[in-house]
């Protein structure tokens, strides 16, 4: 039986490209190395021919892309002697912070908007032993509080304003290039704080600058219509969307995002909540891939922009599916149309249920 070395996470794999030294104690949960899945059925339903791949970041240890950045942020915090980390979060950052703090043996403080984070994410933060502080305010308010309090208390901020976060997250672009043998023509992502889209661009540019790849993608960022500061052109004070992960009106990486939009010749656009949920469901029903609502914004936007010609026929597209569908079971069940029935526990009743629901 052929053996291969155990995969031990993205810091070990990309240590030469990350700010790590030989004696850094690495805090890892085996993050990264996520599948790049080629969609089979959805492209066939589209009127124009394109190749679509999804980078399934929901398969990271805590179920979102945040693990890529959090392993780096916590590794560096520990190296610098920090005993506690803090973040504001719409859910996924808090889950990742809680898990990596547990792994490192330090404390995580997480500020979350009361009642506005998905159940799975809350359960993660609580289960990993974070100090969960619900605030009567949204993410943006929480983020400001975190910045203010970190000036007065011995805590390291692990939101994406921590530069190590983007360093870790850039590795997703490395993986894509390594698997495709080139950069895609278009890379579509959901945008909240715009940290992840910025990190991806950093990764692509680094491989390009170092001669590993000779093309660059156009970066496309999609926001939820009720929470779309990049489309409005200014900060939004009361963001609202079913995609709670990207319910962010004051993006922290505002300048970085506009810079990469220009450099990559990409664009930002918005998707309605209906389109986001429809794309989430389509992906689940037609491809067997379950992502959370925010993630589906990438696919919803890409499909629309293929249809309207902004993304030309023949393009190779990567959509990042930022988080796992299991993060938000409530939204999934609420919009599900699959028959959920209860029948008598008899062969006859079960047989009838089968025959009544045979398709084709």
Question: Which chain residues interact with ligand AN7 by CB under 6 A?
Answer: 64, 89-93, 160, 190-196, 245-246, 292, 294-295, 322-323
Least distance CB 292 / ligand AN7 (angstroms): 5
Least distance CB 311 / ligand AN7 (angstroms): 20
Query: Which residue is it, tokens 């330090």?
Result: 106
- Distance, in Å, from the CA atom of 146 to the CA atom of 342, rounded to the nearest integer, reads 48
Residues in the chain: 360
* Nearer residue to ligand AN7 within complex by CB, 82 or 198: 198
Least distance CB 90 / ligand AN7 (angstroms): 4
User: Is the Cβ–Cβ distance between 33 and 10 less than 8 Å?
Assistant: yes
Least distance CB 243 / ligand AN7 (angstroms): 8
* Nearer residue to ligand AN7 within complex by CB, 207 or 222: 222
Closest to 69 (Cα-Cα) out of 2, 162, 177? 162
* Nearer residue to ligand AN7 within complex by CB, 320 or 340: 320
Beta bridge partners of 172: none
First-to-last C-alpha distance (Å) of the chain: 44
* Nearer residue to ligand AN7 within complex by CB, 124 or 193: 193
* Nearer residue to ligand AN7 within complex by CB, 41 or 144: 144
* Nearer residue to ligand AN7 within complex by CB, 104 or 188: 188
Which distant-in-sequence residues (6+ apart) come within 8 Å of 152 by Cβ?
none
Least distance CB 23 / ligand AN7 (angstroms): 30
Long-range CB contacts (< 8 A, 24+ apart) of 9-17? 9/71, 10/68, 10/71, 10/168, 10/171, 11/71, 11/72, 11/75, 11/168, 13/171, 14/171, 14/174, 17/171, 17/174, 17/206
Least distance CB 211 / ligand AN7 (angstroms): 28
* Nearer residue to ligand AN7 within complex by CB, 91 or 249: 91
- Distance, in Å, from the CA atom of 285 to the CA atom of 41, rounded to the nearest integer, reads 10
Torsion angles phi and psi, residue 317, rounded to 5: -120, 135
* Nearer residue to ligand AN7 within complex by CB, 40 or 232: 232
- Distance, in Å, from the CA atom of 73 to the CA atom of 314, rounded to the nearest integer, reads 39
* Nearer residue to ligand AN7 within complex by CB, 134 or 182: 134
What are the C-alpha distances in Å from 93 to residues 66, 83, 163, 275, 340?
Answer: 6, 18, 15, 25, 33
Here the tokens at position 317 are 């597209």
What is the DSSP track for 298-355?
A: HHHHHHHHHHTTSS-TT-EEEEEE-BBGGG-HHHHHHH--S------SSHHHHHHHHH
Least distance CB 314 / ligand AN7 (angstroms): 28
* Nearer residue to ligand AN7 within complex by CB, 13 or 116: 116
- Distance, in Å, from the CA atom of 6 to the CA atom of 143, rounded to the nearest integer, reads 37
User: Is the Cβ–Cβ distance between 104 and 27 less than 8 Å?
Assistant: yes
Least distance CB 348 / ligand AN7 (angstroms): 45
Least distance CB 192 / ligand AN7 (angstroms): 3
């Amino acid at each position: 039986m052929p053996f291969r070395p155990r995969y031990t996470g993205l810091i070990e794999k990309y240590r030469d490209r990350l700010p790590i030294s030989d004696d850094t104690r690495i805090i890892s949960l085996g993050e990264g190395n996520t599948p790049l899945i080629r969609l089979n059925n959805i492209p066939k339903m589209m009127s124009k021919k394109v190749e679509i791949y999804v980078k399934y970041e929901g398969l990271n240890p805590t179920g979102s892309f945040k693990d890529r950045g959090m392993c780096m942020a916590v590794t560096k915090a520990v190296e610098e002697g920090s005993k506690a980390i803090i973040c504001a979060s719409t859910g996924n950052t808090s889950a990742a912070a809680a898990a990596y703090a547990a792994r490192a043996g330090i404390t995580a403080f997480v500020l979350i908007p009361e009642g506005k984070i998905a159940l799975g994410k809350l359960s993660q933060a609580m289960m990993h032993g974070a100090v969960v502080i619900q605030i009567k305010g949204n993410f943006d308010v929480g983020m400001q509080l975190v910045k203010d309090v970190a000036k007065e208390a011995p805590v390291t901020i692990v939101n994406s304003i921590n530069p190590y976060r983007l360093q870790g997250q850039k590795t997703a672009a490395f993986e894509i290039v390594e698997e495709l043998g080139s950069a895609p023509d278009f890379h579509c992502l959901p945008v909240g704080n715009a940290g992840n889209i910025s990190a991806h661009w950093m990764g692509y540019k680094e491989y390009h600058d170092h001669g590993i790849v000779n093309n660059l993608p156009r970066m496309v960022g999609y926001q939820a219509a009720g929470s779309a500061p990049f489309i409005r052109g200014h900060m939004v004070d009361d963001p609202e969307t079913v995609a709670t992960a990207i319910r962010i009106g004051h993006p922290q990486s505002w300048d970085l995002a506009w810079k990469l939009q220009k450099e990559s010749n990409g664009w930002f656009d918005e998707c309605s909540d209906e389109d986001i949920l429809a794309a989430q469901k389509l992906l689940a029903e037609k491809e067997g891939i379950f992502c959370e609502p925010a993630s589906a914004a990438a696919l919803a936007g890409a499909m629309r922009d293929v249809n309207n010609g902004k993304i030309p026929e023949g393009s190779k597209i990567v959509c990042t599916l930022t988080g796992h569908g299991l993060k938000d079971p409530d939204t999934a069940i609420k919009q599900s149309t699959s028959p959920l029935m209860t029948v008598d526990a008899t062969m006859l009743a079960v047989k009838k249920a089968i025959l009544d629901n045979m398709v084709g």
